[in-house]
């Protein structure tokens, strides 16, 4: 029946890998310096050019032309379990697949989010609890009314904690282009 058709799944799983590859900067010069010298704040403020500043105050150890930098390759996972008709548990994760300590390496912060939610066709409410590398645990809230959604992954942490290490808010409007209700 079209009017009683809700989500027709018990469990969903998804995975993706993003940002695979490297960037090759052929005309870049990379200099390495021994920075054990002493400089003052005034020396830094008086510098007209950062390259001249390093050359004047530190010993250049090496120089090379052409730099390769990896993209922040990551694994993204999502598991959604329909406990009963209107209650769901969602577990998602983002995991770096590259070494962030590597020279010219870029990586995402690893994170895991657990979100219980109540959902009907026209309304949903959810409470995401996220653990993020470097930031710790954040607790938020969000809701959807029809096509409009608004929330924050850090709402409760920011309201009730003096040690929050992040803040966000999001809002959106979902406009389905085509939806088959067969």
- Please give, one letter per residue, the 3-state secondary structure of the chain: CCCCCCCCCCEEEEEEEECCCEEEEEEEEEEEEECCCCCCHHHHHHCCCHHHHHHHHCEEEEEEEEEEEECCCEEEEEEEEECCCCEEEEEEEEEECCCCCCCCCCCCCCEEEEEEEEECCCEEEECCEEEECCCEEEECEEEEECCEEEEECCHHHHHHCCCCCCCCCEEEECCCCCCCCC
Q: What is the pLDDT of residue 112?
A: 98
- Residue bearing the bigger pLDDT, 60 or 104: 60
pLDDT tens, residue by residue, 75-123: 999 999 999 989 999 999 999 999 888 877 789 999 999 999 999 989 9
pLDDT tens-digit series, residues 142-154: 999 999 999 999 9
Does residue 1 have a pLDDT over 60? no
Domain ranges of the chain: 9-108, 110-182
pLDDT bucket at 181, cuts 50 / 70 / 90: low
At 7, the pLDDT band (50, 70, 90 cuts) reads: low
């Amino acid at each position: 029946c079209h009017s009683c058709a809700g989500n027709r799944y018990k469990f969903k799983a998804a995975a993706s890998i993003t940002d695979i590859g490297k960037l090759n900067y052929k005309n870049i010069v990379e200099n390495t310096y021994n920075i054990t010298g002493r400089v003052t704040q005034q020396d830094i403020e008086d510098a007209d050019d950062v390259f001249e500043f390093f050359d004047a105050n530190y010993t250049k150890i090496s120089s090379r032309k052409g730099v390769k930098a990896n993209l922040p390759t990551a694994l993204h996972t999502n598991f959604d379990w329909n406990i009963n008709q209107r209650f769901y548990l969602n577990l998602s994760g983002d995991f770096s697949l590259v070494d962030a300590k590597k020279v010219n390496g870029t990586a995402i912060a690893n994170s895991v989010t657990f979100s219980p939610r109540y959902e009907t066709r026209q309304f949903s409410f959810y409470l995401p609890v996220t653990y993020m590398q470097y930031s710790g645990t954040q607790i938020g809230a969000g809701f959807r009314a029809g096509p409009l959604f608004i929330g924050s992954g850090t709402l409760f942490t920011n309201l009730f904690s003096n040690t929050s290490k992040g803040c966000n808010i999001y809002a959106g409007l979902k406009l389905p282009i085509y939806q088959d209700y067969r």
